[in-house]
Structures are given as structure tokens and as C-alpha cells.
């Protein structure tokens, strides 16, 4: 007997998404605004249902879907990001006749990510992956008249398709050698993979496939262009949500299915982590577009999280998993700040160019004190300064690296954190020390609400980390069986 209640969050979201799509046919543009609120409520309901089912551990549908601490944790990450993005988008989509499609796609991409989090079978995983990817391709190109947005979408689509192909190729090798697509099944038969060179090829294909999604160097080329060109609220979704989908999929496939091959991929991830964080931070320093800077910073952050694969102790996994949650709040918050600054610039001057340029942050503390304060917390969190979520996550992740004896990796990671402070502090300097151009602006309410929620997330995890650390550790246990 399948317990459908366990899938309630997904079901609720699917129903809401379909309802929004249907309603879009009948509503005039004026009234479409309400659809955003509906989507928000749906996500909130899904979030509550997921949190209510945190302690479950069951498999459904002949073992193809699993509901465990890991899947629930990541679902919370995805739903939180989508919720924040949805709230902010209520303002962003105001007066747009495609509002219904925007929210439908947003919800579908969330459902896709949730399916990936729960997938216990490579085919289910791939289907979830594609659902999320296809929806986000369309969302990245949502501003149809903006060439930059189109470029972003096209680039994202082409590279995304390539990565899907690589991933599928890797999956086919794994299937060919082990005769099953079930993740626990593969783990049982992984001996055959380990014994043959095909195992290595499969690992390489899968790392490349997921590496694109996670934006690990050298698979990161699309990320800065896409994040910069896409509508800022969607950049938040991509950087904070869809990227984590790559991580949860990689966690399951590598740690559970291909655990036997860990000598093959552990070193690979250690090297990728080092290159990714270093390149991300170094390139971020020279950016003048805040969006692009955040994109590179997000590349660097993926490098930190990838340390969890290289270390592979329960503590490191807990650190990596907690990092994804913290990063969700910090990065979404930071991108939403960029969005609201963009809104401010455009309301100053309709034809403004380079709305994400660093110069627009000059004197922000005087123009929008709340936003500036929130941005300061977000960037300090991203660089790992206490008492924020970023600090707690880095603390656990880096300390576990030392525990496992990979001191060199921890030293590089810590030096990178120090380096990143340089460009993060520069934003603070622009916001607080440089004179403002223009008068005080009040943030549109939806943006303000979303930013305050993200701020609360960053500070709560930073100040009272116990429950989050506990659940991250529970989630890590799923992987360490």
C-alpha cells in the first residue's frame, strides 16, 4: 500500500501549478497578480508538509522513490528558495501578461528538484533533472525582448542539454555493467564496475554531467553569463536552488551507488574543489557587475561544498549538506538585493544601462537602509563571518577536513575564504562609505518581505544552529550506510 501522504508536498505543488496554468487562461493581465500569492501559499503548504515529515524513512513505488532525512532536507532547501523567489517575483511579474506561465514554470522546476532529491532510481532521477532543467531554461529567457536574457537562456539550454547527454551516457554505462538502475541495486553490483575500465568512464561522464549543474570549474563557463543575463530573481533560483539539485544527485549517486569506486572520484573531487574555489574567487575580484561577481562567488561556494565529496566523513557530509541550506538563504538573499537595486535604478531612469553595475550600490545604506543592511549580512555570511549561517557551515565543513587529515585542502579553503572577503567587503564599502546618488527609496513590499525572510534564515542558522546541524547529520547518515 503506497502511502501517498508522503508525497503530499509534491502533489500539492503539482495541483497548484496546474491550477495556476488553467487560471491563466481566464484571468486578465490585471488580475494575474493574484497567481503569485497562490503559488506562494502552495509553496508554504509544501514547506510545512515537508517539515512535518522530516523524520520519515520509507521507500515508495517499488523502491524508486525514497523519503528520508536527506531528501527531506534538500526539499526544504528547494522549497525555501522557490518560496523566496516567488515572493519577490510577485513584484517582478507585476503587469506582465505571462505571469501565469512564470509561476507555473517556477513550480514545475521546484517539483523537478524535489523528485531528484527523492529519486532512488537513475531513471527517476533523470526525469526529475530534466523537468527542473527544461523549466529553468524557459525561465532564464523570460524577458523575451531582452537580448541578454535570450543569450543567457540559449547558452544555458545548449550546455544544459550537453550535460544531460553526458549524464545519460554515464547512466547507460552504469546500467550496462550492473544491470539495474536502482541506486541500492547498483551499490550491490558495483563490484563489476570497479573491476572494469568502464567504471572509470562512467565516473568521468557522471562527474562531467553533474559538474555542469554544480558549476564546478572547468564546467562553469555557462554560469556567469547565464546568471548575469537571466532575470535576477531567476538567477537566484539557479544559483541557490537548481545548483543544489546537482549536489543532491551527486551525493546519492557517488556516495551510495558508486561508493566502491570512491578512490576514483574522491581525488577528482578534491582537485575540482580546489580549482573551483580558487578560480571562482580570483575572477570574482575583478568583476564590476554585481550579478557576475555573485555568479563567480557562487562558483567558489560550489567548490567549498565539493570538499564534502573529497573528505567523505559523516561530519564533512553534514557540513556540506548544511552548507547547501545556508547557501540557499545567503545567495537567494544577495540576488534579491541585486534585483531590488535594479528596480530602484530603473525607477530612477527608465533607460538605465548596466543596472547591475557596482556603481549603483554607491551609498545604498542611505537610499535603502534595510536592503543595504541585509546585503551586508549576506556578503559577510558568504565570506564566513560569524554569527551567520555561512560561518557555521564553513566551521563544520573545514573542521571536518582537518579531522580527516586533508590539512592542505582546509588551508586552501580557508585562504580562499580570506581572499573572498576582499570583494565582499568592497560591496559593503560601496554601500556604506561612498556618497549616495539620488534620494531615499522605499523597497517594494514583496521584495522587502523576501529579503527579510532570507535574512532571518541566515541569522537563525547562524545563531541557533543546533536543529539544522542535527538534521544535516541525520541526512548525512543516509549516505553513510
Partner 1 sequence: MISMPIVSLMILVPLIGAVLTLFSKTKEQTRIIALVSSLAPLVGALYMIMNFDSSTPAMQFVESFDWVPSLGILYKVGVDGIALPLVLLAAIVVPATIIYSWGEDKQPNQFFALILALEAGVMGVFTSLDFFLFYIFWELTLIPMYFLISIWGGPRKDYAAIKFFIYTHVASLVMLLGIFALYFAAWAQSGIPSFDIPYLLEQFQFLENTVLRDSIFLALLFGFLVKMPAVPFHTWLPDAHVEAPTAGSVLLAAVLLKMGGYGLFRVMLPMLPFTGSPKLMISILAFIGVLSILYGAMLALAQTDLKKMVAYSSISHMGYVTLGAAALVPLSVSGAMFQQFSHGLITCLLFMSCGSIQHIAGTRIIADLGGLAQKMPKLTVLMLFGFMASLGLPGLSGFIAEFLVLTFAYLTLPGYVLLALLGIVVTAGYHLWAMQRSMFGVLNEKLGHLHDITNYETISMGILALLVLYFGLNPSPVLDMMTTNAEQIVSLMALAGV
Does position 321 bind partner 1 by CB under 8 A?
no
- Residue 265 interacting with partner 1 (CB under 8 A): no
Residue count at the site for partner 1 (CB under 8 A)? 30
Find the part of the chain contacting partner 1 (CB under 8 A) among 60-68, 192-200, 356-364, 429-437.
429-437
Residues with Cβ within 8 Å of residue 21, at least 6 apart in sequence: 100, 101, 104
Q: Which is nearer to partner 1, 15 or 407 (CB)?
A: 407
58 backbone dihedrals φ, ψ, rounded to 5°: -145, 160
**Site for partner 1 (CB under 8 A): which residue of 184, 185, 314, 387?**
387
Residue 365: which residues within 8 A CB-CB, separation 6 or more? 372, 373, 431, 432, 436
Least separation, in Å, of the C-beta of 415 and partner 1?
8
Report the 10 Å Cβ neighbour count for 208: 18
Which strand (E) or helix (H) includes residue 468? helix 466-479
399 binding partner 1? (CB under 8 A): yes
Rounded CA-CA distance 139/133 in Å is 10
**Which of 171, 281, 417, 458 is the binder for partner 1 (CB under 8 A)?**
417
11 binds partner 1 per the rule CB under 8 A: no
Question: Which of 271, 346, 418, 437 forms a contact with partner 1 (CB under 8 A)?
Answer: 418
Q: Is 432 in the site for partner 1 (CB under 8 A)?
A: yes
* DSSP codes joined into one string, 383-431: HT-SSSHHHHHHHHHHHHHHHTT-HHHHHHHHHHHHHHHHHHHHHHHHH
**Residue 216 contacts residue 440 (beta carbons within 8 Å):** no
Alpha-carbon distance of 328 to 84, in angstroms, equals: 10
58-60 and 65-67: which strand pairing? antiparallel
Q: Quick one: which segment of 16-24, 112-120, 254-262, 426-434 binds partner 1 (CB under 8 A)?
A: 426-434
Cβ atoms of 290 and 361 within 8 Å: the answer is yes
Figure out which of the listed residues 15, 158, 221, 415 binds partner 1, where binding follows CB under 8 A. Answer: 415
**Closer residue to partner 1 in complex, CB, 70/250:** 70
Integer Cα distance of 226 and 242 in angstroms: 13
At closest approach, how far in Å is the CB of 387 from partner 1? 5
Query: Quick one: which segment of 74-82, 278-286, 320-328, 403-411 binds partner 1 (CB under 8 A)?
Result: 403-411
Can you read off the three cell numbers belonging to residue 468? 539544522
Segment holding 287, helix H or strand E: none
- 3-state secondary structure at position 60: strand
Residue choice 411, 437, 456, 480 for contact with partner 1 (CB under 8 A): 411
Q: Which of residues 451-470 bind partner 1 (CB under 8 A)?
A: 464-466, 469-470
Distance CA 180, CA 174 (A): 8
Contact 315, 405 (CB under 8 A): no
Residues 117, 74 contacting (CB under 8 angstroms): yes
Question: Out of 361, 391, 430, 447, which residue is the one contacting partner 1 (CB under 8 A)?
Answer: 391
> Pick from 60, 414, 452, 459: which binds partner 1 (CB under 8 A)?
414
Q: With CB under 8 A as the contact rule, which of the stretches 234-242, 255-263, 329-337, 398-406 interacts with partner 1?
A: 398-406
CB of 438 to partner 1, least distance (A): 19
Interface with partner 1 (CB under 8 A), residue from 193, 305, 421, 479: 421
Q: Is 46 an interacting residue with respect to partner 1 (CB under 8 A)?
A: no
Residue 398 binds partner 1, judged by CB under 8 A: yes
Closer by beta carbon to partner 1, 61 or else 433:
433
59: phi then psi, degrees, rounded to nearest 5: -115, 150
Residue among 473, 475, 476, 479 that touches partner 1 (CB under 8 A): 473
CB of 262 to partner 1, least distance (A): 21
Residues in region 154-213 near partner 1 by CB under 8 A: none
Query: If binding is defined by CB under 8 A, does position 73 make contact with partner 1?
Result: no
- The whole-angstrom separation of Cα 164 and Cα 159 is 9
Determine phi and psi for 288, rounding to 5 degrees: -105, -15
Which residue of 62, 422, 442, 480 would you call a contact of partner 1, by CB under 8 A? 422
Interaction mask 346-385, partner 1, x per CB under 8 A: ----------------------------------x----x
Q: By CB under 8 A, is residue 386 in contact with partner 1?
A: yes
Using CB under 8 A as the binding rule, whether residue 433 contacts partner 1 is answered as: yes
If DSSP codes are grouped into helix, strand and coil, which group holds residue 368? coil
Helix intervals (H) in 312-360 = 314-348
User: What whole-number distance in Å separates Cα of residue 461 and Cα of residue 88?
Assistant: 22
Residues that bind partner 1 (CB under 8 A): 380, 385-387, 391, 395-396, 398-399, 402-403, 407, 410-411, 414-415, 417-418, 421-422, 425, 429, 432-433, 464-466, 469-470, 473
Amino acid at each position: 500500500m503506497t502511502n501517498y501522504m508522503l508525497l503530499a508536498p509534491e502533489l500539492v505543488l503539482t495541483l497548484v501549478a496546474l491550477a495556476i496554468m488553467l487560471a491563466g487562461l481566464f484571468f486578465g493581465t490585471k488580475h494575474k497578480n493574484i497567481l503569485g500569492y497562490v503559488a506562494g501559499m502552495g509553496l508554504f503548504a509544501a514547506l510545512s508538509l515537508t517539515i512535518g515529515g522530516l523524520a520519515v524513512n520509507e521507500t515508495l513505488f517499488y523502491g524508486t522513490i525514497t523519503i528520508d532525512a536527506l531528501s527531506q532536507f534538500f526539499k526544504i532547501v528547494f522549497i525555501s528558495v522557490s518560496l523566496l523567489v516567488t515572493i519577490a517575483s510577485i513584484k517582478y511579474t507585476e503587469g506582465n501578461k505571462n505571469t501565469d506561465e512564470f509561476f507555473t514554470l517556477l513550480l514545475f522546476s521546484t517539483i523537478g528538484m524535489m523528485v531528484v532529491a527523492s529519486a532512488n532510481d537513475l531513471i527517476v532521477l533523470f526525469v526529475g533533472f530534466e523537468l527542473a532543467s527544461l523549466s529553468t531554461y524557459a525561465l532564464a529567457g523570460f524577458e523575451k525582448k531582452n537580448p541578454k536574457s535570450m543569450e543567457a537562456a540559449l547558452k544555458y539550454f545548449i550546455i544544459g542539454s550537453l550535460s544531460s547527454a553526458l549524464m545519460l551516457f554515464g547512466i547507460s554505462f552504469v546500467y550496462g555493467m550492473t544491470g539495474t538502475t536502482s541506486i541500492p541495486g547498483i551499490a550491490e553490483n558495483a563490484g563489476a564496475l570497479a573491476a572494469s575500465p568502464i567504471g572509470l568512464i562512467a565516473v568521468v561522464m557522471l562527474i562531467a554531467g553533474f559538474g555542469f549543474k554544480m558549476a564546478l570549474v572547468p564546467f562553469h563557463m555557462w554560469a556567469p553569463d547565464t546568471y548575469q543575463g537571466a532575470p535576477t530573481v531567476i538567477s537566484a533560483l539557479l544559483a541557490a536552488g537548481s545548483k543544489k539539485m546537482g549536489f543532491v544527485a551527486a551525493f546519492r549517486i557517488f556516495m551510495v551507488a558508486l561508493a566502491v569506486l570512491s578512490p576514483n572520484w574522491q581525488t577528482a573531487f578534491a582537485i575540482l574543489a580546489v580549482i573551483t574555489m580558487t578560480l571562482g574567487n580570483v575572477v570574482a575580484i575583478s568583476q564590476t557587475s554585481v550579478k557576475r561577481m555573485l555568479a563567480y562567488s557562487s562558483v567558489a561556494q560550489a567548490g567549498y561544498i565539493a570538499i564534502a565529496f573529497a573528505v567523505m566523513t559523516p561530519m564533512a557530509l553534514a557540513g556540506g549538506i548544511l552548507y547547501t541550506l545556508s547557501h540557499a538563504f545567503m545567495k537567494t538573499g544577495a540576488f534579491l538585493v541585486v534585483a531590488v537595486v535594479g528596480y530602484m535604478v530603473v525607477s530612477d531612469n527608465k533607460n538605465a544601462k548596466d543596472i547591475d553595475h557596482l556603481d549603483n550600490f554607491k551609498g545604498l545604506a542611505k537610499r535603502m537602509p534595510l536592503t543595504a543592511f541585509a546585503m551586508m549580512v549576506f556578503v559577510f555570511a558568504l565570506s564566513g563571518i560569524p554569527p551567520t549561517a555561512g560561518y557555521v557551515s564553513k566551521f563544520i565543513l573545514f573542521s571536518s577536513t582537518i579531522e580527516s587529515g586533508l590539512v592542505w585542502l582546509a588551508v586552501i579553503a580557508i585562504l580562499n575564504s580570506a581572499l573572498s572577503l576582499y570583494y565582499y567587503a568592497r560591496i559593503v564599502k560601496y554601500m556604506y562609505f561612498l556618497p549616495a546618488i539620488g534620494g531615499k527609496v522605499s523597497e517594494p513590499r514583496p521584495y522587502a518581505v523576501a529579503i527579510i525572510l532570507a535574512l532571518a534564515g541566515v541569522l537563525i542558522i547562524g545563531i541557533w544552529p543546533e536543529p539544522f546541524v542535527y538534521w544535516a547529520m541525520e541526512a548525512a547518515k543516509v549516505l553513510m550506510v
